């Protein structure tokens, strides 16, 4: 006689649909060259993705007469990299217009995390940036980090303007509260992956793909589906972790003494 097993499934579901939108620096300010010693930081741009999305395209402006650019109307092949948590994640080779702010297609599919856009092997004065870093982030979707350069007063745009992003569509699929299966049997569950959902549980399971999970319990149990959250890049979860502010942000039985 087969024994029935009850599965409780707890979940936090997030429903989100968004068509293409433009974010990032708008390129309304005067484009300038950066020739200071920290020029590389001026061209890169760090950002945080809070909902799965695709960066469809960005606009860039190469200087008209510099390193194989022969004036307005010519173009140059460049490689645009996207890094995730400091590790190369994806690359695209694109043709960049010289002397003009023009769109290049990227189609980077990104999940929740911290990222950085870079142009490979860039040198001083090759691309235009703007000190008028008028930017548009979407709260809860994508946040562009301020781009300050040591010794300079403004927040710089980076080389990437008018980012067109498309948030991954999601259609709600109701999950059952309880599933009954027989002992030594598996159960494959369909679900909607809106935001890199995380599954946890004390009994075995296998995530087949972004929309299917195989549950293999040996006893009655509960599986949990949760939506991940992330703080902006560079945010420390520990308040005053290096004690430079003394006993601030926590309580302690120890008395703080500054350096003697």
pLDDT tens column, 10-53: 433 333 334 578 887 776 667 777 766 556 667 888 899 988 88
pLDDT at 115 exceeding the cut of 80: yes
Q: Which CATH superfamily is 21-167 part of?
A: PHR domain (2.60.120.820)
Element (H, E) at 40: helix 39-43
Distance CA 45, CA 240 (A): 27
pLDDT tens column, 209-234: 767 888 888 888 877 776 555 444 44
Sign (positive or negative) of CA dihedral 60, 65, 66, 67: positive
Alpha-carbon dihedral angle through residues 249, 250, 255, 256, given to the nearest 10 degrees: -30
64 Cβ partners below 8 Å, 6+ apart?
71, 72, 98, 99
pLDDT at 173 exceeding the cut of 70: no
Sign (positive or negative) of CA dihedral 153, 158, 162, 164: negative
CA angle 51, 56, 58 (to 5 degrees): 110
């Amino acid at each position: 006689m087969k024994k029935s097993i009850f599965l409780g499934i707890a979940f936090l579901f997030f429903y989100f649909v968004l068509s293409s939108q433009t974010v990032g620096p708008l390129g309304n300010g005067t484009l300038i060259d950066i020739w200071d010693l920290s020029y590389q930081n001026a061209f890169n741009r760090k950002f945080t993705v809070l909902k799965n999305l695709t960066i469809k395209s960005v606009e860039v402006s190469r200087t008209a007469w510099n390193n194989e650019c022969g004036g307005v109307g010519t173009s140059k092949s460049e490689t645009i990299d996207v890094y995730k948590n400091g590790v190369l994640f994806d690359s695209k080779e694109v043709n960049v217009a010289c002397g003009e702010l023009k769109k290049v297609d990227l189609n980077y599919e990104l999940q929740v995390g911290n990222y950085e856009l870079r142009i490979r092997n860039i040198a001083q004065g090759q691309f235009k940036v703007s000190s008028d870093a008028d930017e548009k982030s979407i709260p809860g979707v994508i946040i562009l980090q301020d781009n300050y350069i040591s010794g300079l007063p403004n927040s710089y745009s980076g080389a990437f303007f008018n980012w067109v992003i498309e948030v991954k569509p999601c259609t709600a699929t109701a999950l059952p509260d309880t599933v009954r299966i027989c002992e030594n049997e598996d159960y494959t569950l369909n679900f909607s992956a809106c935001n890199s959902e995380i599954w946890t549980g004390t009994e075995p399971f296998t995530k087949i793909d972004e929309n299917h999970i195989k549950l293999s319990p040996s006893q009655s149990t509960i599986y949990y589906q949760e939506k991940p959250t992330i703080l902006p890049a560079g945010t420390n979860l520990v308040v005053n972790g290096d004690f430079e502010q003394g006993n601030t942000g926590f309580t302690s039985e120890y008395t703080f003494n500054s350096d003697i």
